[in-house]
Amino acid sequence: MITHNRRKTPFRYVLKEPVPFALHILQVNGKNVHSKPIQALLLDLSSAGCRLSVPVDIQADHQEIRVSIHMLLHEEPLYLEGRLKWNRTESGRYHYGVEIEFPPNGRDQLLRELRILASKNKIIIT
């Protein structure tokens, strides 16, 4: 008997310990900006996007904001870019959903890192 996976969304990997990283704002409404790095925490991620937490309000409600993410999940440094898609305030911090735009081989690199984290029991797959 063959079973089919009807899952329409990518698996989400929740980090047991949030990963700190530097978030940079690249563009606001299509215009390049130069921002200081914002100290952020990566809370969870998938092959389509991630959820992060920052101590400041980026004011993404009615603006298109492109960001870059520089982080080290396990072995290889990752550089990702994406767009802020949603936001909410939680426990005095600002949470944002980022739709990631992967560079060539970027998705493969992320999946390798996630497999390593899963083998070390550092993530929960939902």
In a domain, 29, yes or no: yes
Residue 3 lies in a domain: no
**Is residue 29 within 8 Å of residue 42, measured between CB atoms?**
no
Residue 61 lies in a domain: yes
Place of tokens 């959820």: 51
- pLDDT per residue as tens digits for the range 27-51: 999 999 988 999 999 999 988 899 9
**Tens digits of residue pLDDT in 73-123:** 887 888 999 999 999 999 899 999 999 998 888 888 888 888 888 899 999
How confident is the model at residue 111, as a pLDDT? 85
Q: Contacts by 26-32 with C-beta closer than 8 Å and gap 24+?
A: 26/66, 26/67, 26/68, 26/81, 27/64, 27/65, 27/66, 28/63, 28/64, 28/65, 29/63, 29/64, 30/64
Q: Is residue 11 part of a domain?
A: no
Does some domain include residue 9?
A: no
Domain that holds residue 67: 19-125
Based on the structure, what is the number of domains in the chain?
A: 1
What six digits make up the tokens of 111?
A: 């999946």
Report yes or no on 5 lying in a domain: no
CATH of the domain at 84: 2.40.10.220
- Strands 65-72 and 49-54: what pairing? unpaired
Evaluate whether residue 74 is within a structural domain. yes
- Hey, is 8 helix, strand or coil? coil
What pTM was computed for the model? 0.85
What type of residue is 63? Q
13 lies in some domain: no
Cβ-based burial of 119 (10 A; exposed 0-12, middle 13-18, buried ≥19): exposed
pLDDT at 2: 57
